[in-house]
Amino acid sequence: MNAITAVKGFKDILPEEAYHWQQVEQLIRGVLADFCFKEIHVPILEKTELFAKGIGDTTDIVEKEMYTFRDRGEDSLTLRPEATASVLRAYIEHSMFNQGSVTKLFSIGPMFRRERPQKGRYRQFHQIDVEVLGSEEPQTDAELILMLVHLFRTVGLENLSLDINSLGCPACRSGFRQKLIDFMQDTLTSLCEDCQRRLTNNPLRVFDCKNDACRRLIQDAPTIPDFICDGCRWHFDEVKACLDMFALPYNLNPRMVRGLDYYTRTTFEITIPHMGAQNAVVGGGRYDGLIRDLGGPDIPGIGFAIGFERLMSLLHDRQDDPPPPVLFIAALGSEAQAAAFKLCNQLRLEGIRVEMDYSGKSLKSQMKKADKSGSLYTLILGEREIQAGEGELRDMRSSKQWAVPLESLRSHIAQ
């Protein structure tokens, strides 16, 4: 019988990789704490309507990429394709807006999108999702972007490309929408089928199309920044001025519209130039109408999500190994095995990294395992040693070996 394999696009994170993830996550958590963010856990499964309303019915994610099913013929449920809608649902459901004027949250976990798997694109992937709710000030936009750049530097990444844009507010966007439709009318039949449909449903999505012919046509199309109102222009100028205070380099990219419908005003992406098609490591932006659209009060918000797999692929050459055991216990004979089992687990309960092999194989085989584990010391226990209340301690680096009373073992292996 063939062994069962993982589902296409779903990836195992093996122990060494998981250890590296944990280390990077730790650094990121440190930065988030410095900027006063608190963690929130939200479910992986939500009602489908949350994402349809939140992300937008006519986005690629909602149209083609969600894992949606009927829960035993009842509610339509969806594995979350992103975290923003879920975090906002929780914020509204628990009236978190009553706790203070600005709420700063982050959430780390898996997301699910049924995209075509390729390098850097998975059907289950992980995001570090960050949201600030309750502030419309441009300083908040700049604070988030500044934190992101700092966060990347903290994990050891410098040469990133930061693109920013303003998508304006619904008022400035309606004028732009018409201009874009007018511009595209003459070339309508040259657009791909998807874009022809998008032009009536959601014209902005045309900027997202990967089709070469559409991309060429869109090159000369009008862009939103030419249409934004005075309020949105002032807001974006302030964001840029705050970034300039920290001499942060950024590209103004008027064609960046992002793939989700909820964005207003500032949007941003961090890309890695040599990473090919899947080169966005972070995407984010402001979504001032979303909390209201999801049934909450009219409160502004902004956030971003880092793609963890993509971030880790940039750091793969800097991987450290997990720390080896401090001690390996090799025991010969049933009496020594029983004493070793007790000692091994006693030391673990005291917080010392210890490993042993319960199979009762030969000393040679156990010493091989000790060597492979990378342990700093090996304690050899036989029946005679147990009777004498001692063991042979071997320093695996110098190969020196000496007898130690078991009660003073801890001081010999102390780090």
Q: Which residues contact ligand HAM by CB under 6 A?
A: 82, 84, 113, 115, 121-122, 125, 127, 129, 131, 259-260, 280-285, 303-305, 307, 309-310
Least distance from ligand HAM to the Cβ atom of residue 269, Å? 7
Residue type for position 301: G
Other Cβ atoms less than 10 A from the Cβ of 124: the count is 17
Among residues 300 and 303, whose Cβ is nearest to ligand HAM?
A: 303
Least distance from ligand HAM to the Cβ atom of residue 176, Å? 21
Least distance from ligand HAM to the Cβ atom of residue 191, Å? 23
What is the number of residues in the chain?
415
Among residues 283 and 325, whose Cβ is nearest to ligand HAM?
A: 283
Lookup result for tokens 């920290």: 246
Parallel, antiparallel or unpaired: strands 327-331 and 103-112: unpaired
Most distant CA pair in the chain: distance in Å? 95
Other Cβ atoms less than 10 A from the Cβ of 142: the count is 21
Cα gap 9→124, rounded to integer Å: 7
Cα gap 292→88, rounded to integer Å: 10
Among 198, 193, 224, 197, residue whose Cα is nearest residue 211: 193
Among residues 91 and 304, whose Cβ is nearest to ligand HAM?
A: 304
Among residues 260 and 381, whose Cβ is nearest to ligand HAM?
A: 260
Least distance from ligand HAM to the Cβ atom of residue 161, Å? 13
Among 245, 304, 286, residue whose Cα is nearest residue 135: 286
The continuous run of DSSP H or E covering 52 comes out as helix 48-55
Among residues 17 and 115, whose Cβ is nearest to ligand HAM?
A: 115
Least distance from ligand HAM to the Cβ atom of residue 210, Å? 14
Among residues 125 and 207, whose Cβ is nearest to ligand HAM?
A: 125
Cα gap 128→109, rounded to integer Å: 7
Among 258, 212, 35, 48, residue whose Cα is nearest residue 140: 35
Cα gap 203→257, rounded to integer Å: 11
Structure tokens at 390: 């001692």
Least distance from ligand HAM to the Cβ atom of residue 313, Å? 10
Least distance from ligand HAM to the Cβ atom of residue 82, Å? 4
Among residues 290 and 340, whose Cβ is nearest to ligand HAM?
A: 290
The CA distances from residue 208 to 24, 129, 211, 276, 290, in Å, are 31, 22, 9, 16, 21
Least distance from ligand HAM to the Cβ atom of residue 376, Å? 38
**Positive or negative torsion for Cα 44, 47, 53, 57:** positive
Closest residue to ligand HAM, based on beta-carbon distance = 307
Among residues 128 and 243, whose Cβ is nearest to ligand HAM?
A: 128
Lookup result for tokens 């040679």: 364
Least distance from ligand HAM to the Cβ atom of residue 153, Å? 18
Among residues 117 and 156, whose Cβ is nearest to ligand HAM?
A: 117
Among 109, 96, 44, 156, residue whose Cα is nearest residue 291: 96
Cα gap 170→151, rounded to integer Å: 32
Among residues 20 and 123, whose Cβ is nearest to ligand HAM?
A: 123
Least distance from ligand HAM to the Cβ atom of residue 171, Å? 21
